[in-house]
Amino acid sequence: MSDVLQRLETEVLIGPGDLPTNAAKKGFNLVENASWWLVNHPDAYQEILKAWIDAGCDFVVAGHGSANRFRLKRFGLQDQTRDINYKLIKLAQEIVPNNCYLFYSLPCPTTLLEPIGDASSDELYQSFAEQIVIAEDAGVDLIRLNVDSIEQMEQGMKVVKNHSQLPIAALLSLNPTPKGFRTMTGLGLTTAVKRWEELGGNIIGTICGSISYEETTTVLKEMRTACSSYLYARPNAGVPEMINGKAVHPGIPEQMAKEALNWVEAGAKLIGGCCGTTPEHIAKVAAAVK
C-alpha cells in the first residue's frame, strides 16, 4: 500500500484550492491556457503552491485540466504536451517539502467521445497514457483523474494499471438535477461510484460543478452508501454568481471550515477546494479539521 493510502487509514489530508482563479490574481487571463501561462510564469506558479503549503496543506497538485493534448491543441501547443506537463511537475517538486505529497491532475478532454463527440476511445487512452508516463517518470505520489463518464473512468483506470503503480483518485464534477446529482454527461452519482469501485479505484470524490458546501455533504453521504473507497471533497467556493459580468464565488472561509467538519463526519478523508478557493479558505479548513 502506498504511503498516501496508509495515511488515509487514520488521518484526514488537506489539499489546495484551484490554480486558475488564484493565478488570475497574478495576471493570468482566464481565456488563456492556464498550464502554458503557469510554466511561463514559474515564480507565480510556485508562489501559489507555497501559499497552499503555508496554509496547512498535506498535499498540493501539479498539473491542470488545460494540460492535455486536446486542450493544448486549441492554442497550437499540442506538440509541447510532454514539456509543459513535465515542467509543471518539476517546478512543483522544487518547492514542495518532504512532509507534503505531490499529486498530479490528469485531465479529461473537453470533447465528448464518439459517436456523440469526435474523440475515439483510443485517442482518449493515448492522451491519458502520455501524461501518466510523464507523471510516473517525474515521481508524483498519486494520480487524480477528473471524469464525467464511465468511458473516461474505464480508460483512465486501464492506463494506470498498464503504465503505473500509483494510487488513483477519480473526481466527479456534479450538478443537482430533478433525478439526483449527475455529471455533465448525465452520469448518475451512484452509478459512477459503484463502477469506480468495481474498477479498483482507491479514492472517489467531487470537484467543481454547481453544488454548494452543504450539497457536498449530501453527495459524500450518498457516495459512502455506494462504496467503501476513500472519499475526497473538493467543491467550488460556493455556487458561482454572475456579478457585473464576472463569476463570483460566495463561499467564505469560515463557511467552508464549518461545513468541512460535516464532510469529515460523512466520510471525507481528503479535503480541498476548487474554483474560488483561496489559501485563506484552506487555512481555516486545516485549523478546523486538524
Only one residue has cell 493570468, namely 28
Q: Extract the residue ranges of the chain whose pLDDT is less than 50.
A: none
Measured over the CA atoms of residue 206, residue 203, residue 87 and residue 111, the dihedral's sign is: negative
Angle CA(283)–CA(242)–CA(214) in degrees, nearest 5? 45
For residue 123, the model assigns a pLDDT of: 83
H or E segment at 17? none
Distance CA 212, CA 256 (A): 10
Domain boundaries defined on the chain: 198-290
If we measure between CA atoms, which residue out of 209, 224, 237 comes closest to residue 263? 224
CA–CA gap between residue 209 and residue 163 (Å, rounded)? 30
- CB-count exposure of residue 86 (10 Å: 0-12, 13-18, 19+): middle
| 3-state secondary structure at position 113 | strand
What's the rounded Cα separation, in Å, for the pair 272 and 53? 12
Q: Residue 1's pLDDT is what?
A: 53
The 3-state DSSP class for residue 65 equals helix
Tens digits of per-residue pLDDT, 259-274?
Answer: 999 999 999 999 999 9
Determine the Cα–Cα distance for residues 252 and 83; give it in Å rounded to an integer: 37
Helices (H), the chain: 3-8, 20-23, 34-40, 42-55, 69-73, 81-95, 121-138, 150-163, 189-199, 213-226, 253-266, 279-289
The span from the CA of 45 to the CA of 18, in Å, is: 12
Count helices and strands in the chain by DSSP H and E runs: 12, 12
Question: What residue has cell string 470533447?
Answer: 111
> Each residue of 51-61: pLDDT tens digit?
999 999 999 99
Instruction: Encode 255-289: b = buried (16+ Cβ within 10 Å), e = exposed.
Output: bbbebbebbbebbbbbbbbbbbbbbebbbbbbebb
Q: Report the pLDDT value the prediction gives residue 246, as an integer from 0 to 100.
A: 75
Instruction: Give the predicted TM-score (pTM) of the model.
Output: 0.94
pLDDT, position 111: 59
User: Using CA atoms, how far apart are residues 211 and 207, in angstroms rounded to an integer?
Assistant: 9
Distance CA 95, CA 103 (A): 14
Contact 176, 152 (CB under 8 A): no
| Gyration radius of the chain's alpha carbons | 17
The per-residue pLDDT for 50 is 98
